[in-house]
Amino acid sequence: MILVLLGPPGAGKGTQAERLAEEFKLPHVASGDLFRENMKNKTELGLLANRYIVEGELVPDDVTIAMIRDRLERPDCENGVILDGFPRTLAQAEGFKDILAGMDRTLDGVLYIAVPDEELVRRLSGRRICRRCQTPYHIQFNPPQNHRVCDICAGVLYQREDDKPETVRARLNVYRQQTLPLIDFYCQYGLLTEVDGSGDIETVTAALSEAAHGLNK
């Protein structure tokens, strides 16, 4: 199954993609995580991406599409993948179509996680991430058991530079301008299912899981 999670920054795509990946035994591929990994390792791609990410802008389409193509060609994606954060522009959606056609695969569905704006800002500003294993927490809604330490691997938690208020606003603008048109794009192919993302984590997981099972039929 090839599934895309679409939604604004802060909709919970990372947390939910991780859960779906576990349930369906598929890899979770997050473009933002791939960029951050490259930034951490100071690769050429990481240095390039960093310039855009710190401003809350999108990394250019050609670079992003090439990175995802490489990732999808790895053997662990043979049975499918849960994509989170890609595609994010119409050009990426077209590029994605070409990648899949080249691999003789098709997209099964796009789950759109809808969340109101005020809620997004609240969620993003409280988000903390484990520096070691990337598990996301929220200081209010999903706090770690020990202050500032990951429950899973005991790594130190940090606030992403781009979760600070000015960058959050820039990211939401970019989302509205560049990513929202994907809703119509995928609707037109009958691939889009909207899920209410404003409830608690468990409720949203249940709704997404039900929608994903529906696609499998």
Q: Point out the residues that are catalytic.
A: 13, 88, 127, 160, 171
Closer residue to ligand AMP, CB minimum distance, 24 or 96: 96
Q: Kindly state the helix (H) or strand (E) to which residue 209 belongs, with its residue range.
A: helix 201-216
Give the closest residue to 91 by CA, choosing from 68, 65, 53.
Answer: 65
Cβ-closest residue to ligand AMP? 32
Q: Are strands 127-130 and 157-158 parallel, antiparallel or unpaired?
A: antiparallel
Between CA 177 and CA 75 the distance in angstroms is 34
| Distance in angstroms (rounded) separating the CA atoms of residues 27 and 12 | 17
Residue with smaller CB distance to ligand AMP, 26 or 174: 174
> Quick one: CA torsion of 146, 150, 156, 159, rounded to 10 degrees?
-100
**What backbone phi and psi angles, to 5 degrees, belong to 41?**
-85, 5
**5 DSSP 8-state letter:** E
Which one-letter amino acid corresponds to residue 109? Answer: G
How far apart CA 118 and CA 136 sit, in angstroms, is: 20
Nearer to ligand AMP, 87 or 144 (CB): 87
197 makes contact with ligand AMP (CB under 6 A): no
- Which residue, 26 or 29, has its beta carbon nearer to ligand AMP? 29
Task: Name which of residues 79 to 98 contact ligand AMP (CB under 6 A).
Answer: 85-86, 88, 92
Binding map of ligand AMP across residues 39-78, x = CB under 6 A, - = no contact: -------------xx--xxxx----x--------------
Give CA separation, 25 vs 20, 78, 103, 193, 207, in Å: 8, 12, 20, 21, 18
CB nearer ligand AMP, residue 9 or residue 144: 9
CB of 153 to ligand AMP, least distance (A): 19
Site string for ligand AMP, 26-45 (x = CB under 6 A): -----xx--x----------
Please report whether residue 8 would count as binding ligand AMP according to CB under 6 A. no
Contact flag: residue 162 with ligand AMP (CB under 6 A) = yes
Residue 217: CB minimum distance to ligand AMP, A: 29
Considering only residues 119 to 158 of the shown chain, the ones binding ligand AMP according to CB under 6 A are none
Binding stretches for ligand AMP (CB under 6 A): 9, 31-32, 35, 52-53, 56-59, 64, 85-86, 88, 92, 162, 171
